[in-house]
Amino acid sequence: MAAEKKRELQHVAIIMDGNGRWAKKHGLEHIEGHKKGAEAVKQSVEVAKELGIKYLTLYAFSTENWKRPENEVKGLMSLLRDFLEKHMDEMNEKGISIRAVGRIDKLPFLTRRKLLSAIKKTRNNKEGTLVLALNYGGRAEIVDAAKKIADDVSNGKIKSSDLDEELFKNYLYAPDIPDPELMIRTSGEFRLSNFLLWELSYSEIYISDVLWPDFDKNEFKKAVESYYGRDRRFGGRQSKALH
């Protein structure tokens, strides 16, 4: 039998859950949990680079999050701007590019301007990519892709008979980024919460009971170790993810 091909972990996606519960547990205002969670984001970017993981996608703000209290939404947008302001230069120096997926055009003007500036400033970096899912929903992404496909069929750019999974993927928000091999969700919840519904089809899922603000480098490494210990079958024969 031929030697088994090594499967490197290129892309990790994370549902960062538990900021509110962390704040309540410590007797703090809700927004303080999000502030502490921003520190965990920085640690995750650092450990991903340390482990050679090329893409890290973080579920930062969903399409459903607009339903939260107005002051909380404003606080989250302010935190995003502050995070980019505080860490963009450092990430740029370390060769990390910043990308965003979602309905970015619907973000508040100041937040969108800061985000687009960070994307432009870091776009040529090759050491790793931080993908922020902002105003993102998995169903919304698929609907947006379907609309673009319908337009291209109507305009004669493609034929409906040409449509297959590979072509459909080209209409998603970031078709050049490989699907995540590993998805992590913190705080012990067992839901996808409308996150990367297309891209997570064959991803390994790791559920951590740790609340996101406490999800440090060691917890991240535990998730990665779990991934490398699993057998990935993709509906076919066994294919173990090896170091």
pLDDT tens for each residue of 158-174: 999 999 999 999 999 99
* 185 φ/ψ angles, rounded to the nearest 5 degrees: -125, 130
With respect to residue 210, please indicate whether it lies within any of the assigned structural domains: yes
With respect to residue 168, please indicate whether it lies within any of the assigned structural domains: no
Give residue-wise pLDDT tens across range 122-134.
999 999 999 999 9
Task: Assess contact for 141 and 198: CB atoms under 8 A.
Answer: yes
Residue 111, CB half-sphere, CA atoms under 13 Å: how many? 21
Average pLDDT of the segment spanning 8-30: 95
Q: Where are the alpha helices (DSSP H) in the chain?
A: 19-25, 30-50, 70-93, 109-122, 138-154, 165-169, 217-228
Task: Assess contact for 223 and 208: CB atoms under 8 A.
Answer: yes
Taking the model in full, what pTM does it have? 0.90
| Nearest C-alpha neighbor of 195 from the set 13, 9, 10 | 13
Give residue-wise pLDDT tens across range 39-48.
999 999 999 9
What is the predicted pLDDT for the residue at 230?
Answer: 83
Is 144 a known active-site residue?
no
Is 65 a known active-site residue?
yes
Q: What percent of the chain has pLDDT over 90?
A: 90
Q: What percent of the chain has pLDDT over 70?
A: 92
In which band, very low, low, confident or very high, does the pLDDT at 232 lie, cut at 50, 70 and 90?
low
Instruction: Tell me the CATH number at 19.
Output: 3.40.1180.10
Task: Indicate which residue of 65, 92, 125, 194 is catalytic.
Answer: 65
With respect to residue 224, please indicate whether it lies within any of the assigned structural domains: yes
How far apart are the C-alpha atoms of 39 and 26, rounded to whole Å? 16
With respect to residue 55, please indicate whether it lies within any of the assigned structural domains: yes
Q: Which range of residues forms the domain containing residue 17?
A: 11-137+179-228
What is the predicted pLDDT for the residue at 155?
Answer: 96
With respect to residue 172, please indicate whether it lies within any of the assigned structural domains: no
With respect to residue 200, please indicate whether it lies within any of the assigned structural domains: yes
How far apart are the C-alpha atoms of 230 and 83, rounded to whole Å? 34
Residue 237 has pLDDT above 80, yes or no: no
How far apart are the C-alpha atoms of 203 and 200, rounded to whole Å? 5
What is the predicted pLDDT for the residue at 5?
Answer: 41
How many domains does the structure of the chain reveal? Answer: 1
